A and B are shown apart, each in its own frame.
Chain A
Amino acid sequence: MIIDCKHVWDYISDYLDDSLLPETRDMVQRHLESCEICSAILDSTRNILILTADDRVFELPTGFSDRLHARLAREICADPDGKRRPPQT
């Protein structure tokens, strides 16, 4: 079965996650092998996701992790039995 580009675009996300059914994946694969446009869309989408997942994009401020743990420890010490208190604002 032959599918057109627009249908391939619908499958790109699941193709990247390798969650397509085998026959669908093969069909998409065959299209990608012969279609430069769709394989460029696949590559660009994959690259954008790699960039997005890179820790340097959403870097935590220096010392954030230490401050978070210190704050959590303080909260837990102040309320060791986990009873409900009014939320702090």
Chain B
Amino acid sequence: MWRTRAFSGPSGISRAFAGAKFSTWLISITLNEAGRQLRRQNILRMESLDQQPREDGARISPALLRDWREIPSEALERREVSALLEEAIDRLSPIYREVLVLRDIEELSVEETSVALSISASSVKVRLQRARMMLQKGLAHELKAVTSGKRRWFQ
């Protein structure tokens, strides 16, 4: 269990996380430990340094569509919508996925995310912007297709 590692790290950990919430610390440890386990099991496909996603890389063009104003809450009743969301998030590169999950699912603040991932606040914002745009691009049309006929969603 990660618990053993969580409380046995060097004293530097307590300095690095000084002032951070316990949950931020815990998330950081969990991410590191999960990464360590994955590497050990050779499940994680390593990314070449040459192919590191560039934060200042090409701009992502969002999907162009009109009139998507209503909150599609009833759409979630349909399993395929949540499956689409999960698949789209899985398709993101790890550096984008982890920021999106911490910010938009775990609802950590920019500062907490920055501490948990040991990256700067501006990197959190840039990665989040790209992650959200990639989700929008990947999902807008698919969701529209799945929910066609849902007039309340797409007027």
Contacts and interface: CB of A to CB of B under 8 A. Distances in A.
A2 interface: no
Interface in A1-21: 6, 9-10, 12-14, 16-17, 19
Contact of B135 (A14, A48, A87): A48
Main secondary structure, interface of A, reads: helix
A48 B61 contact: no
Given A56-B76, A58-B86, A12 B139 contact: no
Interface residues of B, number: 44
Interface string B29-68: 0000000000000000000000000000001111111111
Centre residue among B60, B66, B81, B125 by max chain A CB count within 10 A:
B66
A40 B136 CA distance: 11
B154 to A, nearest CB: 10
A7 B5 CA distance: 44
Interface string B6-39: 0110000000000000000000000000000000
Contacts of A56: 76, 82
B87 to A, nearest CB: 11
A31 B140 CA distance: 21
Interface string A40-56: 11011101111111101
Contact of B63 (A44, A49, A86, A87): A44
A44 B143 CA distance: 10
Given A13-B128, A48-B139, A57 B59 contact: no
B69 A84 contact: no
Given A37-B64, A40-B67, A41-B62, A87 B1 contact: yes
B104 interface: yes
13 contacts: A9-B60, A12-B133, A36-B66, A40-B64, A40-B65, A41-B64, A41-B65, A44-B68, A45-B135, A48-B135, A50-B73, A52-B85, A75-B3
